[in-house]
Amino acid sequence: MTTNTKAIEIELLVLEAQSGNPKALPHLVSHYHPTLIRRAHALTQNHDAASDISQETWLGIARNIRKLRDPARFHAWATSILANHARDWIKAQIQQRENAASHRQAPNANTQETTNAHELRKAILTLEPKLRDIVILIHMDRCTIEQASAALVIPVGTAKSRLRKAKSILREQLDPERT
């Protein structure tokens, strides 16, 4: 089946699912699920998370498919739903790591390094969400710029630009004399 034929078939299944055909969504899942699994795995690098994220994505698709105005945009729409779930998973992983790290620190550890890390975390939290998300994905979760841009559903160039802007703001906040 050519790419064009598959795209048309997906559009028809979307239209049928929107009109209430109970057989359309399972067919849509059988056609499109491998694509979502691959995408989720690329974002998370975790097989179990990819499976969970794909399932959550299908639940979101099933609940909201009637809201999709243009069936030709199904791929972009489904990918953005998946990316949102992947971003949530990544943020949860970051939070778990931070919690684990804070439990490992000695309660009275007042070293300069601990203070600097705490100040940096506080400064990151003051960034606007679109800048904060890129910093967290790149520097805390160690995503590549490509993975981060995919998770945020933005072009790589936009991700790079946001990262540069965030670093500039953080530099100003943390070392105003240097700028």
Q: Which residue has the tokens 């710029």?
A: 145
98/75 Cα distance (integer angstroms):
34
Say yes or no: domain 1-104 is CATH 1.10.1740.10. yes
Per-residue pLDDT reduced to its tens digit, 4-53: 888 899 999 999 999 999 999 999 999 999 999 998 988 888 899 999 99
Q: Which sequence spans correspond to the domains of the chain?
A: 1-104, 106-179
pTM of the predicted protein model? 0.59
pLDDT digits (tens, 9 = 90+) for 142-164: 778 888 887 788 899 999 999 99
| Distance between CA atoms of residues 56 and 61, nearest Å | 9
Pick the CATH number of 106-179 from 1.10.10.10, 3.30.1390.10, 3.30.565.10, 1.20.1260.10: 1.10.10.10
Residue whose C-alpha is closest to residue 32's, from 87, 69, 79: 79
User: Which residues lie closer than 8 Å to 147 by C-beta, 6 or more apart?
Assistant: 42, 43, 137
* Dist. CA 24–CA 31, nearest whole Å: 11
